[in-house]
Structure 1
Amino acid sequence: MGGAIARGLAQSGLSAVAASVSSSVPSAGTSAVPTPSAEPAGVASPVPASSSASSTVAASASELSSGLSSAVASPASAASFAPSAVGSQGSAGNPVALYELVVANPSRQKLEALQAEYPSVQITQSNVEAVRGADLVLLAVKPWKMEEVASELKPVLDYRTQMVASVAGGVGLADLSALYRHKNMLPPLFYVMPNTAVAVRQSMTFVAAQGASEEQTAAVVNLFRLLGEAMLVEERLMDGGMALASCGIAFAMRYIRAAMEGGVELGFYPNEAKQIVMQTLRGAVELLQSTGNHPEAEIDRVTTPGGITIRGLNEMEHAGFTDSVIRGLRAARPLKK
């Protein structure tokens, strides 16, 4: 996921990507106290071109906003790496200063491969170096590496100027608070949940915030809007969002596979059936986006009394189509600890 995020940001126009693919994450600012266990991940963040690159964003929230705006306006190359972090954002349209993303990873080979693909990306094997001066430190690590990463970052984080975000599944705001609390202080924290479509900048990303100003929260949400759609939600909705959008990718793929198999039975070759189904889904999504209609309104336009569409829909419902989808979504919610 970290690599996908880095690639998407680079494609958005950020001049570099900072991320850490090792068992530890670049640090930034002041200290933090580790709690839950997790795997170190990468950190990436836009940094003003004049600053030294780091695996975090080195700029003010408003600068991050401007930087991501410029990223949207003038797409750049993308970067791909394992665990990664991202930092910066802004609304589309007003290109301003360029920001750099720095990638930190213990694997020199991975770093060099990334830089070969995206020369503008700055790389380092030091998590600490990656996060120095960044506004946003984004942790893309396995949950069991989080404590190790926090231990490395807390001595260098500056809670007055730096934000910390995590895309580690299941590591919520309470966990992040326990990990990064230092001398009764906490940085602004963000729990971020993208899906795998972030690799092609079409993610549905959920963001929950704690202790952040409206400006900081807007900056992080706008950052992830460079990688698809992003929605600010209460943390209690993160599990539901994961089922609907993250697991939902697999559910959508399963429908595509089923429709392809049906297409083969109807006489098409598999690749032809896949092309037909994908374009049909694109059309359905575009209809909903352009009209704002409820899906049922568009269904009504296709189903005529006694027609083949209503017969097909009724047969699917007879087999439990809607109920199966709802049951699957409910079953996909993470089990409570």
Structure 2
Amino acid sequence: MQQPPRATGIGSLPGTDTGAAHRLVFDELPDLPFLPELPARGVGADMTGRGTALLVELFAEVQPSGWRLTDRPGRDARRAASFLRQDLDYLEENAQEFTQTLKVQAVGPWTLASTLELRHGDRMLSDLGAVRELSESLTEGLKQHLAEVRKRAPRAGAILLQLDEPALPGVLKGTVPTASGFGKLRAVEEPVARETLAKLIEAVHADAGADVAVHCCAPDVPVDLLRKAGANSISFDANASAIDTESRRDEHLGEAIEAGVGLMLGVVPALDPPRAPGVNQLLDKVLSLTRLGFSPRQLAEAVTITPTCGLAGATPPWARQALILAHRTADALADKAA
């Protein structure tokens, strides 16, 4: 795998000014800007609503309990699609001369199945046949979306698709609640979860020519599953138990790096801290991975620096500063490796 870009963001940003968000990411993240997501805009800009806008021949609307499948698109679906078109319009305005790698984000199939309800009201995760249909629909929608991104950013060197799967650990452990909230849905076996992701990733590789990163901000990130599913990069928060030295996670992280899988490491706090961390403090979090037996040079080739998940909840000034700190920490890592 080629050396990854050095710094990027997870995806969401605070506020409702789409134009300002696009200018921010292209100004502060020249190595790997991303298509910003602004959930504060409301229904349809949230993770699940944005995911439904990508589905092919499946439609959803908001019910009192959340997003639910319907027979035809309605107001909420049109609103979600409108937000996505608006974002692509701003991307086209800012990316005409951009020649580096561009990142776009989408909810992954297991997290979407954990939040989207069937027509009768239970979560799609309760029916593995429905999950397969959902994943196939999402795969087709992602291929179309990535083709549209290519048209809007015609000179981009590459497209990186980030699948957001915060619910995946819960899917594997059987801790996702039922729609009623009174029970838990049955755990999905790891081979089934891996195969579903692998089919989507393979299709995106083959038909859209895009690399795929999988982001999971929950504890116990299933690193080994994601590597075996074909993810080019794995994105997680450095403070999560995903890099707990007392677990097998270190072994899996080491295997991932050896296999050429990139690590997108969340080290900059997403929410406004009482005191902003220094670059050396953030760099220490990255260099803690030398315990895996890799040199700073090897880590610099494998690691992309990001803020932690949840930047949409920050103040706009801190959101900008968090992206700046990510970039400066990446520069410091490159200097350390030189």
Please confirm whether the aligned pair reaches a TM-score higher than 0.5, indicating the same fold: no
What TM-score do the two structures reach when normalised by structure 1?
Answer: 0.28
Larger of the two Rg values belongs to structure: 1
What TM-score do the two structures reach when normalised by structure 2?
Answer: 0.28
